[in-house]
Amino acid sequence: MALSKEFLWGGATAANQCEGGYLEGNKGLSTVDVIPAGKDRVSVLKGKMKMLECDDEHFYPSHEAIDFYHRYKEDIALFAEMGFKCFRLSMAWTRIFPHGDDTLPNEEGLKFYDDVFDECLKYGIEPLVTITHFDVPIHLVNTIGSWRSRKMVDYYERLCETLFTRYKDKVKYWLTFNEINMLLHLPFGSSGLVFEEDENEEAVKYQAAHHQLVASAKATEIARKINPEFKIGCMLAGASTYPYTCAPEDIWRAMTRDREHYFFVDVQSRGEYPNYAKKMFERMNIHLKMEDGDEELLKNNTVDFVSFSYYGSRLTSADPAVNTQTAANLFPTLRNPHLKRSEWGWQIDPLGLRITLNALYDRYQKPLLIVENGLGAVDKPDENGYIEDDYRIEYLREHIRAFKAAVAEDGVELLGYTTWGCIDLVSSSSGEMSKRYGFIYVDKDDQGNGTLNRSRKKSFNWYKKVISSNGEDL
Ligand code: BG6
């Protein structure tokens, strides 16, 4: 079985990693705008170091990023040249509601996305929109503590209603929260959570998760009223966890690790809190505050499809002695001796993508969409400025083979594939430009120097050929 003719080939970006123009067009300040590049970044992302405004000592890569805000026409034209069927992008919340709690939206922000969508549609490119990709208006962090507060559900609802109404004839596919499970690992970076001393951090995180899950269900409810043709998806930082050995303790450990992530999609896709989570809350002395109607809302508003990012599999052991051999992926994982690693130490496992696709499809029986996958690598232009990124081509080729096998041999329903950072952009975990994923090179370095000129890498023409052959010519 070949991929369907409607298969959504394309690429993905996020507002804060590509737009720049961080205060232009009346945009307000977001969490992502105060997260610096450099040695403090990971501590800030994890909520270990509090940073709620910009200072003169740090460099903030979101402020200019790759200047998509001014160059989107050129960039979308390049995507069209590759034959993209789909472009995943995110909305910057503070372009629409600069403080988050404003009563009226900012017309300039809405107009910007109108222009971007029109540009996509001009080329027949379907926009796939992430409503929030790791950004929270800083005003809401300062005033109500971000997602720890239930009020966030109302502000998010206002955002969704505004977007769905405005773009109901331009956008069909929506994702409610990027990598919703990242809340557990990067509480500030993904959800704007700042902890107080001696509080039960896990309780705060799961309460915030409840608010996001309710917000996601509300968005789905509103979306269906505004346009029944909309397709609403959840988004998981995906990847199956392998047990280090065949010891039953390791198998059990791997299963519980996976459940930490499935927890979110179990609620979004099946519509209720799984029993294992309820028991976990009891053990952890976590008492979620629910409002009347929450359970019904979750039950009645499950997603249409499940989307996920995949960079590499995870590995875990029940043995504390083994647990020291960690690899550098953002999620805690051991080093797998069978896998190669990227220059940033991320483990590369194409078969793991097929395994993950099967695990998700077995569990949810809903169409899947791979919305991030790719290799972050250093690209060195030759004397003509050309980049021969065969390593990237090899990575993507093997992952495409793996998902094709999942479709053709395992019968997984897969709607599409959007590679991460189809144009070079700022790395989320490191803030670097030098960790590049793109088919399109952007001339800018980690310190912010460069012309911002765009140029086609070798992988550009390769991906063009892949798309035009619907994945046959790899
Ligand atoms: C995902 C995020 O976690 O991974 C993206 O959704 C991010 O925002 C991507 O950029 C790759 O991670 P990094 O750290 O290499 O940019």
Q: Tell me the per-residue pLDDT of 155-189, one tens digit each, with 9 for 90 and over.
A: 999 999 999 999 999 999 999 999 999 999 999 99
The residues facing 442 across adjacent strands are 454
Q: What is the CATH number of the domain that holds 154?
A: 3.20.20.80
**How many angstroms separate the CA atoms of 241 and 257, rounded?**
7
Phi-psi region of 50 (alpha: psi -120 to 50; beta: other; left: phi over 0): beta
pLDDT over 70 percentage in the chain = 99
For residue 3, being part of any structural domain is answered with no
Name the residue at shortest CA distance from atom 9 of ligand 1: 428
Q: Which of 119, 126, 179, 372 is catalytic?
A: 372
Choice among 15-24, 66-75, 192-201, 441-450 with the minimum mean pLDDT: 192-201
Residue 306: name the closest of 266, 346, 348 by CA.
266
For residue 292, being part of any structural domain is answered with yes
For residue 2, being part of any structural domain is answered with no
Name the residue at shortest CA distance from atom 15 of ligand 1: 427
Per-residue model confidence as pLDDT tens digits over 386-422:
999 999 999 999 999 999 999 999 999 999 999 999 9
Determine if ligand 1 sits within 6 Å of the CB of residue 424. Answer: no
Determine if ligand 1 sits within 6 Å of the CB of residue 429. Answer: yes
CA dihedral 461, 127, 366, 414 (to 10 degrees): -10
CA of 13 to the centre of ligand 1 (A): 9
| Segment (H or E) for 408 | helix 390-408
Determine if ligand 1 sits within 6 Å of the CB of residue 269. Answer: no
Residue 236: name the closest of 219, 203, 211, 212 by CA.
212
Residue 275: give the domain boundaries.
8-468
Determine if ligand 1 sits within 6 Å of the CB of residue 427. Answer: yes
CA of 463 to the centre of ligand 1 (A): 20
- Cβ-in-10-Å burial (0-12, 13-18, 19+) of 384 comes to exposed
CA of 294 to the centre of ligand 1 (A): 31
Determine if ligand 1 sits within 6 Å of the CB of residue 119. Answer: no
Average pLDDT over residues 44-50: 89
Active site residue 295: no
For residue 418, being part of any structural domain is answered with yes
The pLDDT value given to residue 2? 81
Determine if ligand 1 sits within 6 Å of the CB of residue 454. Answer: no
For residue 474, being part of any structural domain is answered with no
CA of 51 to the centre of ligand 1 (A): 20
Q: How many domains are contained in the chain? A: 1
Ligand 1 atom nearest to 344, measured from its CA: 15
Per-residue model confidence as pLDDT tens digits over 229-281:
999 999 999 999 999 999 999 999 999 999 999 999 999 999 999 999 999 99
Give the long-range contacts of residues 344-349, CB within 8 A, separation 24 or more: 344/376, 344/430, 344/435, 346/311, 346/312, 346/376, 347/312, 347/313, 347/315, 348/312, 348/375, 348/395, 349/312, 349/313
For residue 167, being part of any structural domain is answered with yes
The pLDDT value given to residue 249? 97
Residue of 418, 420, 430, 436 best suited for mutating to test ligand 1, as the one with most atoms within 8 Å of CB: 420
CA of 370 to the centre of ligand 1 (A): 14
Indicate if ipTM > 0.85. yes
For residue 138, being part of any structural domain is answered with yes
For residue 1, being part of any structural domain is answered with no
Per-residue model confidence as pLDDT tens digits over 305-321:
999 999 999 999 999 88
The pLDDT value given to residue 323? 74
Average pLDDT over residues 330-339: 86
Per-residue model confidence as pLDDT tens digits over 52-71:
999 999 999 999 999 999 99
